[in-house]
Structures are given as C-alpha cells and as structure tokens.
Amino acid sequence: MDLKIRPALAEDAAAVGRLAQQFAGYLRSLGDTTEFNLTAERYLRDGFGPRPAFGGLVAEVEGKVVGYLLYHFGYDSDAAARNLHIADLYVDAATRRQGAGRALVSAAASIAVKAGAQEMIWSVYHANKLAATFYENLGAQRTTDVFYMKLRAAAPGLDADNRDQGSRRER
C-alpha cells in the first residue's frame, strides 16, 4: 500500500465530505444522535479563506483520499501551554488497520510540536470502543476528571449581538 499524508486542500472537499458522511453514519450506528453537518461545502467555507477555522491532513492511497484529520490550536491555562485539538479523525473502513490513522495522528503531532504545543486533545464518543482502543494503543490516556459542556453562542439571555458594543462603551 502506497500511503501518503499531506495537507488537506480545497480540492479535497468532495472526498472529505464523503468521508465525513461515512463517519456520521458510523457514529449513528453506535447510538450518537448528534446532528452531523460537515459537508464538502462547509469544509470549504470554514477551512479556507482569510480566517480558516481549522487545518487539515488527508491520507491518500494510490491518489485516493481514504482518511482525514481536522485540527485547530487552543490553549490550556492550567498547564499554561498550547495544545492541538483534533476535531475529527476518520479513515474509510476498507482502509483501516493499514497505518493511515496512525500516520495522520503522527503528522498532527509533528505539526503540534512545530507550533509549540505540548499535547494533543480530542473527544471520543463513549460507545466508540474501536476509536478508544486505537488511541490507547497509541499511548493516549483517558481523561475522566473533566467533562465537556456546550452552549450556543446565540443562546437566549447572553445578548451576544450587543456584547461587543457594550464593552466598547465601557472603555
């Protein structure tokens, strides 16, 4: 197998969109009820342009994109250190167990180190035992003493539309 890891490009939108839909189907089969919205169009909208929301890598075999990893950088104030957050990692089921996932994580680790990040972080759907085992075999450790929370930026009562204007007036 001729495996190549390279930066994700706008031209990969159709392949990443297809793989993201496969990933969503797999997670739904495990019981995940999340609304999965990553499409080729949204990949292009959010990953390219003047302020990309993420960077990406793709795995190719014989010129065909068979996997992808999307990431963005963050900061851990407890550790006072940068981190690389893996937003998505998926490899086509027919290509698994051939090194593509490991190669994508390894390439992301190289990007993290070059950017001064001390760790990589990501979430795993609790029923996704295949992924958890894969990551643990890489040496990843489960973090069980914290949990994720989310709140819509435009949640009622936050007055998100007027927040910037208010802070300007306070200066």
- DSSP readout, 24-61? HHHHHHTT--------HHHHHHHHSSSS-S-EEEEEEE
Half-sphere exposure of 145 (CA within 13 A, CB side): 1
Task: Give the largest Cα separation in the chain, rounded.
Answer: 61
The model's pTM: 0.88
Q: Tens digit of pLDDT for each residue in 81-127? A: 999 999 999 999 899 998 999 999 999 999 999 999 999 999 999 99
Average pLDDT score, the chain: 90
More confident site: 168 or 17: 17
Residue 167 predicted with pLDDT over 60: no
According to the model, what pLDDT value does residue 170 have?
46
H or E element in which residue 72 lies: strand 64-76
- What CATH number does the domain located at 3-143 have? 3.40.630.30
Residue 13 predicted with pLDDT over 70: yes
